[in-house]
Structure 1
Amino acid sequence: MSIVKDVNVNGRSIIDTRSLLLYLKDDLKTGGGKYVASLGIITDNHLDELQAVKITNQKTGGRQFRQVTIAPSPAGTKLTPEKYLDMGIEIGEFYYDMGFQVFIVFHNDTDTPHLHMVINSVNFLNGKMFSQSKSGLNRFKTRCNNVFAKYGLDPIGKPTEMMMDTVVHEMSEGFDCLELFDEILADKGSYLSNLCSEPVTEHKPLYIPEYAVGDYIVCSPTQPRNYFNPDSPTPWCKLILYPDNSWGVPNNTFDEFTHHLIRFMNLEDQQKVRALFPQRKYYRRKEISGKQFTENPDFFLNNHCEINVLVESEAELENVIAIFNRLRYIAEAEKAYATKLGIASMAQLNQLGVSANVTTDNSTTLNVTIRGKDGSEQTINEFIDIPNKN
């Protein structure tokens, strides 16, 4: 969920405003001052222009500003800092259209990219002090959600009244209250419970043990492959389980698919296809033990798909390419779901006192090995999708 909160900072003087602007405009937080924007402020002297409106309307006392922190949910998005700043400007126009100067910055110095928005407490159109009813805050929430949807981000998931800070923060306390560290961490941790609580109508295992060969067990998929739909995600190849809890998958996942197709070919064509896809072999994928997890606090959510194909001659390469063109890429929604799960897992581990990083890999890799007449081999590796990492 995205978080938007009006942090109740008790700034009562021009010195407080200056301190706040210096903190928000810090070069280390704003990419050297690149990610700074304003509405209703013409020059780079933001403080003087905000103060000029107060002096003109003879309202230099009382609350000097409102400070709103905007932390959009980053799951599954690839927004640039410039896009984040554009988004902040669109949200800030809500108050600018009412007659309030707005100062906006984008901070990328924390794990969660976020925006800060400072609103002048005096209206430059009518000279009135800033005041916002619950209905007005609800309209602001709607504006934020519409902008978030435009940029492919999650909406605000909390009630409107929770967007207002009930605790008054003194300037002497510092500026950590503006960053919403605890609130953002708790929100990320809630992803995991939300994902796990999704209703499941029926659970069907993808594989069941079929028979034992030596010290390992051969497992078969529970659902048949739809051979008339190459994009079907249903598993269709067997795998094997070893005594040490590792498991093996075929290094050529086209073997069974091809086996069913060649039944409709003549014998000569069948032999050509069999030469293109040789006999299947299994390779191991080792399970990681609990002890290894303890020693290494970095967790890895593997959603990676790897396809290995052996081509006996360059002439057959076109046939392989034709098959590749029929492969189904990982859907964007599936990538976003996996990324959310990674973020939520890391947040919940941190809440339990375990400092761990979680990386999610949503990539697909093609490994094509071309074998020459002299027996030499050349392998081509290509990423269909770049890994999505947190």
Structure 2
Amino acid sequence: MLLDSAGCGRFDILVADPFLTLTTEGRSTTITPREGASKTVEGNPLALVRRYLGPQMRPLPDGIPFAGGALGYFAYDLACYLEDSPDRERPAAALPEMAIGLYDWALVVDHRQQKTRLVSSCRDPHTRATWAEWVKTFEVPAIPRMRRFQTLGTPESNLTREAYLERLARIQRYLVEGDCYQVNFAQTFSASVSGDLWAAYRQLRHINSAPFAAYLNTPSGQVLSASPERFLQVRAGSVETRPIKGTRPRHEEAGRDRQLAAELGESPKDRAENVMIVDLLRNDLGKSCATGSIRVPELFKVESFASVHHLVSSVTGRLAPEKDALDLLEGCFPGGSITGAPKRRAMEIIEELEPEPRGLYCGSIGYIGFDGAMDTNIAIRTLVHSDGEIRFAAGGGIVMDSDPEAEYQESFDKAARLLALLEAFITIDTNGG
């Protein structure tokens, strides 16, 4: 697994060889140690992660964000279990609802200090026994030969334009009737593929670099993420979330591109949407943060990425003494920027109107360290591969004054680089450039 700042942030973290894995499907979590038999249990998946993380160690020094702990993903559909919702008859998602490895070493690249460190917490005896081998492995790393990746057909959506607009009209009726203030809605694209997913990820990070990117290679499938959005960070008890709400496409002409960014920054509609989610997250953080500690140090900041401009805010707090990072994650999951407000009713409408489970889309990828630190993304701009099919989703927040045609186009603006990636590989492979 690789958590990759893709040239946009300070750290990259690479892990392998977990000493234990936790995989949740439905109500059951399978716990598989490196040695010994697997067992399947029921219970809160995040409580199981906490149990196997064990006693919290002292904070790490600056320059080492992670020296072992839990790393992997939490799919959007895990929320159904965390909220103890009733079981529903829906088709299964492509990957399990949670896939977490417990890792005792990591390779950490610090771009600010221009250093790469091999670090460990030495929680697992196997680490000491194999440390010299890992040091030797990374002293002269092998350069793998790139193999071919190919898209076997044009990516297709699970909704026609007419079906998408009809569902947006139903959402707006819910908004008028007072069910919600905002509802996030998305369509899913899929295509048959073959070959090396690592080759596809390398191309993705080239054309759509993002600060919270990731490549995960799990037994169930591969995850290729180019997410621009931080969900939750915890560092020495300090908490930050950076919700995105508000989008404009990039433009190849510099003057027009600046105009679009300025328009986004001044848009009353986008500011109103952003404030709704900031308020929701202030409430969510309040479940785990000390009273009076929550602040909004940034509001309506325009940040520019490969294919879009986004409106980004920052909400901060400090963990209450009796709370930890997993309490915070459970209290905020899934992120309000990709559900709507109020969150629970928005999620019910999403389930009613989106044709299939979201799976990992709008879930979260990241780590919780043995020291209690956490950093996670919102899994948008994220492709999931399993059984020869690659899938991803894109959408946006719908409010009463949303223009349905503009919202439909926005979903394609957000999907643009992922569609371009797949369409390029229909005729172009990694060996041919």
Higher relative contact order (CA 8 A, sep 6+): 2
TM interval, shorter chain, is: under 0.3
- The structure richer in helix per residue is 1
Instruction: Select the structure of larger CA radius of gyration.
Output: 1
- The structure richer in strand per residue is 2
Instruction: With the length of structure 1 as denominator, give the TM-score of the two structures.
Output: 0.27
Instruction: With the length of structure 2 as denominator, give the TM-score of the two structures.
Output: 0.25
